[in-house]
Structure 1
Amino acid sequence: MVSSQLSNNEHKKYICDRCLHYFYTSDKLASHEEDCSSINKCKVLLPNKKNNKLTFINYSKKEWVPFVIYADFECVLKPVVEARAYSVHEAFSCGLYLKCNFDDELSEYRCYRKVNDDDMSPSEWFAQNLQDIADKVLEFFNNPKPMCFTSVEKVKFEKAETCHICKRGFTENDVKVRDHSHFTGEYRGAAHNKCNINYRDARFVPVIFHNPSGYDSHLFIREVATGFPGRVWVLPQTKERYISFVKFMEDQRLSFRFIDSFKFMASSLDNLAKNLKQQPTLRKVFGQDYDDAQIDLLTKKGVFPYEYISSLEKLQETALPPAEQFYSSLTDSDILRKRTYI
Structure 2
Amino acid sequence: MTPLALMIGGCEGIIEKMNTNGSGWVIVRVNCIDLNIAVGQRLRFYSGHASNFELPPLLKAKKAVINPPSTGSDCFLYACLAVLHHGDENLRKNPQRFSTYKDWLNDINLSGISLPVGLNQLNRIELLNPRLCFVVFSWSSSNGVSVLRQPRVEVACSRKVVLLLLLNKSANKDEEDKHWCGIVSLDRLLNSKSGLYHRKWCERCLSSFVTDQKLSEHREQCYRSNEFAVKERVPTEKRSVLSFQNYFKTIEAPFAIYADIEAFNSPLGPHTREVMHQKVEEMEVSDNEQVCSTRSSSSSSSHVQARPDEGMVTGKTVFITEHLPAAGGFLLVAREGMKGPPLKDQGQVKLVSSSNPLECMETFLHELERVAREVYEWNRRHSYQTAEADTIASQIFSESSNCHYCDRQFTDTNDKHYDHDHLTGKFKGAACSRCNKLAQLRRRFLPIFFHNLRNYDMHLLFSTALGNMKNWKLSVIPQTSERYMSLRVDFPIAEITLPKGKKKTIFFTLQFLDSFQFLNAV
TM over 0.5: yes
Q: Which 10-residue stretch deviates more, 95-104 or 62-71?
A: 95-104
Question: One-letter code of the match for 1:213?
Answer: R
User: Among residues 252, 255, 259, which one is paired with 2:513 in the alignment?
Assistant: 259
Q: How many residues align?
A: 231
Q: Which residue is equivalent to 2:448?
A: 207
Map 1:160-239; keep pairs closer than 5 Å: 160-202=400-442, 203-221=444-462, 222-239=464-481
* TM-score normalized with structure 1 length: 0.57
Q: Supply the distance in 2 between the matched residues of 1:240 and 1:164 (Cα, whole angstroms).
A: 42
> Which stretches of structure 1, 4 residues or more, deviate above 6 A after TM superposition?
none
1:237 positional shift: 4.3
Superposed CA offset, 1:196-225 (max 9, x none): 111112342222223333321232235345
Matches of 1:73 and 1:197, distance apart in 2: 38
Q: Note closer, same or farther for the CA distance 1:178–1:226 as it changes in structure 2 (3 Å cut).
A: farther
User: Aligned letter for 2:323?
Assistant: H
1:122-178 superposed Cα distances (whole Å, 9 cap, x missing partner): 312321221122112212331233313315133433333232332333223322222
Asked if 2 retains the 8 angstrom alpha-carbon contact of 1:98 and 1:108, the reply is yes
Q: How does 1:61-76 map to 2 (within 5 A)?
A: 61-76=249-264
Q: How does 1:1-342 map to 2 (within 5 A)?
A: 34=226, 37=228, 42-43=230-231, 45-47=233-235, 51-80=239-268, 81=270, 82=273, 83=277, 84-103=318-337, 107-112=346-351, 114=353, 117=355, 121-143=359-381, 144-152=383-391, 153-202=393-442, 203-221=444-462, 222-251=464-493, 252-265=506-519
Unaligned runs of 5+ in 1: 1-32, 267-271, 273-278, 280-342
Report which structure shows greater RCO (CA 8 Å, sep ≥6). Answer: 1
Matched-pair identity in %: 29
CA RMSD in angstroms comes to 3.3
Code of the aligned partner of 1:208: F
**Which whole-Å CA distance do the structure 1 matches of 2:453 and 2:369 have between them?**
20
Deviation per CA, 1:8-28: give whole Å up to 9, x if none.
Answer: xxxxxxxxxxxxxxxxxxxxx
CA separation of 1:49 and 1:172: change in aligned 2, threshold 3 A: closer
CA distance in 2, matches of 1:103, 1:133: 21
Is contact 1:180–1:188 with CA below 8 Å preserved after alignment?
yes
2:285 is aligned to none
List per-residue Cα deviations over 1:24-75 (Å, max 9, x = no partner). Answer: xxxxxxxxx957x37xxx5353546665433323322322233222221111
Residue in structure 2 matched with residue 13 of structure 1 by the alignment: none
- Decide which structure has the larger Cα Rg and report it: 2
Question: d(CA) in 1 for partners of 2:324 and 2:380?
Answer: 39
Cα distance in 2 between the residues matched to 1:52 and 1:85: 58
SS of structure 2 residue aligned to 1:55: coil
Aligned to 2:146: none
The Cα shift of 1:256 comes to 0.7
TM-score, normalisation: structure 2: 0.39
**CA displacement at 1:76 relative to structure 2:** 1.0
